[in-house]
Structure 1
Amino acid sequence: MTQIELRGVEKFFGAVQVIKDLNLHIDHNEFIVLLGQSGCGKTTTLRAIAGLETIDQGDILIDGKPVQHMKASDRDIAFVFQSFALYPHMSVFENIAFPLKATRKSSSEVDSEVRSVAETLRITHLLGHRPSALSGGDMQRVAIGRALVRRPKALLMDEPIGALDAKLREEMRAEIKRLHMKQGSTTIYVTHDQVEAMSLADRIVIMHEGVLQQIGSPAEVYAYPANLFVAQFVGSPVMNVAPASVSSEGGTARVTVEGAQQGFLFPAELLGRLDGLKAANGSLALGIRPEGIIVRHEAQDGFLPVDAQLIEPLGAYDIVDLKVGSQTLRARTRSGFVAHAGARVFARLDPAQAHFFDTRSGNSLGVRL
């Protein structure tokens, strides 16, 4: 059982605070992804857990034991860097075996452990090669094998596939997920790529400017973003967010995007729920993901006339930019549904997929219909 806990962790580089009161509990065998923009503190957090950075405040516990004052070598943590950091003069076998030889294991034990890890990573046929003869993906497998071979309590990975091309990244994402499921190790993975985070994580920890924004499963952070930062960071394309006002009209609610002459119809329930939260129209933002915008060619009740500004073909579907008032909303349609830019179409919003945010705080109002 390997559990990792961070309690009130803070870290400064000079006068700059890069981690701000971070609290996080990671369960045994859990795959956690730290997600955020460059400079948000995610790599510093990972290095602090590994013992490669000291912290200024708080506690880091591994299996309930505080380790913040322990050396990295005493924490039984393995770290995989973005750079492969392999010894060029050593074979693959020797690179993977290096941590075991440092512990003075017998030759038979080393051989058995290395071949076991190589079989798991499917690189047994490469054991006699040197790193210069390997592809980028194979070099990363070797780096992971070197980390895994001594059976650490936890595996920490800092953007391990960021230097690979798109096809190799896709292959390695699947490989890392398969490896985690087979090994069952507690894993913390750092990335700025939300596709990696969504495809790999049991839970995603989203950070911004050193502050934890939201923790949840990929489905939770996508469907229920806690604030505007998460809404516009997770998802591809990101969630549409536009200033809006809500008014009552004929027993229904009308949500009008800034600059629009007409509004989208919503159930009257929305009015009561927003009034209960005392959300002022002047500080209200509507959020809707592209799949929550329904587009038709013909006028229908509840659909507003809009113009298509730009079409982005993505193979199985298109992303179409629609001009709504002074705002642009991106809709997802089937491939070729809108013939050309400038075409007049009709759109409505799916109330069940709409989000509402307080623009003053940035927080979600928690109103879902």
Structure 2
Amino acid sequence: MADIVLRDVEKYFGESYIVRKLNLEIRHREFLVLLGPSGCGKTTTLRAIAGLEEIDSGEILIDGRPMQSRQAADRDIAFVFQLFALYPHLSAYENIAFPLRATNEKRSVVDRRVREVASALRIEGLLGKRPSALSGGDMQRVAIGRALVRRPKALLMDEPMGALDAKLREEMRAELKHIHIENEATTVYVTHDQVEAMAMADRIAIMNDGVLQQVGLPADVYQYPANLFVAQFVGSPIMNIVDGTVRPGDGCTDVVLGEDDAVQRFPVELYRKMAGRRQGEDRLAIGVRPEGVLVALQPGDGYFPAEAHIIERLGPYDIVDLRFGTQLFRSRTTSGYVDKAGRAVWARLDEKQTHFFDRRSGESLQVRL
């Protein structure tokens, strides 16, 4: 398949700066997800790789060869659009076969490849139907089949499951990853849904306002976010963030949440690490994911009093909103652990899951216990 490299890629639409000095390497046979909010430049980046958008500066290389002078048809890349883009007057079979017929492949080759792809996508029984007789999920399978049938160097997908219902999206996530593995494809997948990204990606590239924020394994971007944007974009519910300070305590480090809304006692080595970063008593943003907020029903050493404000019961676990002082933190607990809203509880932060960010720049201080 293909290695794809973007070097200092920039794209403007008029005076709007859409993609800003983007440097990214997509590895051979990798499933890379471009993740970010609407308007962040991820679809423009995908279209630039495909040759559907011209870049203003920089380089795009596929297998080491510059692509700027090549038309989309000469890049050997397939593109799956969000809204299917099927030919309404053709059957599913003919839609899938269209790229092969356009290159004058033999009829026997066309038939074999169409049926192989249809079998992989489990749409053999739909080949005789036109798009108007298919469901949204089936139409998306046909669109993916049309992209896969000619075995391109790379497969680019622009939010292909955006129009599907939740159950079908879950099924399609597994199918698309299976297809990627079976076809040994290099796949670039665009989405704003961080659950899709976490479930499918080999690596995730997170963008915001045209700038690449972080690239890494799903577990790494979740556990070690590079900045406040990544911390609060990846994860559901998002990471709790509160202004605070870190100061030396009596044989410990005091982590102050808010304006003395709560004080947590962390090991003394934390202050030493912070002082080494010249952040000893500067204003910080302190972050912790819901699973790092520990809840108890009785007072305990290191726990501060709080009140269960709202409880979301989600089956295998609950999300409990905790109010203390002027702050509101979300915690993940076992199902039914806190029986009702308004109950007095006690909470503390797991010191190994607490993150510290520079409030001015938003960058992670990379200080962890």
Letter in 2 for 1:332: R
Greater shift, 161-170 or 245-254, is seen at: 245-254
Cα distance, 1:280 vs structure 2: 5.2
Whether 1:60 and 2:42 are equivalent positions in the alignment is no
Maintained 8 Å contact 1:9/1:21: yes
Q: Which residue of 2 aligns with 1:28?
A: 28
Give the distance between the partners of 1:25 and 1:57, measured in 2 at CA. Answer: 17
Matches within 5 A, 1:120-199: 120-199=120-199
Cα distance, 1:259 vs structure 2: 2.7
Q: Which residue of 1 aligns with 2:206?
A: 206
Structure 1, residues 103-122: CA drift from partner, whole Å, max 9, x if none? Answer: 01111111111111111111
Matches within 5 A, 1:255-270: 255-270=255-270
Maintained 8 Å contact 2:261/2:327: no
Maintained 8 Å contact 1:260/1:324: no
Maintained 8 Å contact 1:257/1:325: no
Structure 1, residues 171-212: CA drift from partner, whole Å, max 9, x if none? Answer: 111110111111110000000000000001000000000000
Cα distance, 1:90 vs structure 2: 0.9
Q: Percent identity?
A: 63
Letter in 1 for 2:191: T
Q: Which residue of 1 aligns with 2:241?
A: 241
Cα distance, 1:223 vs structure 2: 0.2
Letter in 1 for 2:307: D
Give the distance between the partners of 1:297 and 1:116, measured in 2 at CA. Answer: 58
Q: Which residue of 1 aligns with 2:341?
A: 341
Maintained 8 Å contact 1:93/1:114: yes
Whether 1:50 and 2:37 are equivalent positions in the alignment is no
Helix, strand or coil for the counterpart of 2:333?
Answer: strand
Cα distance, 1:261 vs structure 2: 4.5
Q: Which residue of 1 aligns with 2:295?
A: 295
Helix, strand or coil for the counterpart of 2:236?
Answer: coil
Give the distance between the partners of 1:280 and 1:58, measured in 2 at CA. Answer: 41
Helix, strand or coil for the counterpart of 2:233?
Answer: coil
C-alpha RMSD over aligned residues: 1.0
Cα distance, 1:302 vs structure 2: 0.7
Letter in 1 for 2:212: L
Give the distance between the partners of 1:229 and 1:280, measured in 2 at CA. Answer: 23
Matches within 5 A, 1:65-144: 65-144=65-144
Give the distance between the partners of 1:57 and 1:65, measured in 2 at CA. Answer: 16
Letter in 2 for 1:312: E
Letter in 1 for 2:264: F
Maintained 8 Å contact 2:262/2:324: no
Give the distance between the partners of 1:24 and 1:13, measured in 2 at CA. Answer: 21
Maintained 8 Å contact 1:264/1:302: yes
Whether 1:317 and 2:313 are equivalent positions in the alignment is no
For structure 1, the 5+ residue unaligned runs are none
Cα distance, 1:48 vs structure 2: 0.2
Give the distance between the partners of 1:366 and 1:11, measured in 2 at CA. Answer: 31
TM-score by length of 2: 0.98
Maintained 8 Å contact 1:257/1:324: no
Greater shift, 225-234 or 296-305, is seen at: 296-305
Q: Which residue of 2 aligns with 1:276?
A: 276
Maintained 8 Å contact 1:12/1:19: yes
Cα distance, 1:329 vs structure 2: 0.9
Give the distance between the partners of 1:150 and 1:138, measured in 2 at CA. Answer: 20
Letter in 1 for 2:359: T
TM-score by length of 1: 0.98
Structure 1, residues 295-343: CA drift from partner, whole Å, max 9, x if none? Answer: 0011111111111111111111111111133221111111111122211
Give the distance between the partners of 2:23 and 2:245, measured in 1 at CA. Answer: 36
Give the distance between the partners of 2:159 and 2:225, measured in 1 at CA. Answer: 24
For structure 2, the 5+ residue unaligned runs are none
Helix, strand or coil for the counterpart of 2:87?
Answer: coil
Greater shift, 277-286 or 60-69, is seen at: 277-286
Greater shift, 43-52 or 99-108, is seen at: 99-108
Structure 1, residues 64-108: CA drift from partner, whole Å, max 9, x if none? Answer: 000012110010110000001111111111010001110011111
Give the distance between the partners of 1:207 and 1:367, measured in 2 at CA. Answer: 23
4+ runs deviating over 3 angstroms = none
Letter in 1 for 2:283: S
Give the distance between the partners of 1:136 and 1:195, measured in 2 at CA. Answer: 20
Give the distance between the partners of 1:237 and 1:185, measured in 2 at CA. Answer: 32
Helix, strand or coil for the counterpart of 2:137?
Answer: helix
Give the distance between the partners of 1:90 and 1:258, measured in 2 at CA. Answer: 62
Cα distance, 1:282 vs structure 2: 4.0
Maintained 8 Å contact 1:244/1:281: no
Whether 1:17 and 2:5 are equivalent positions in the alignment is no
Q: Which residue of 2 aligns with 1:328?
A: 328
Helix, strand or coil for the counterpart of 1:308?
Answer: strand
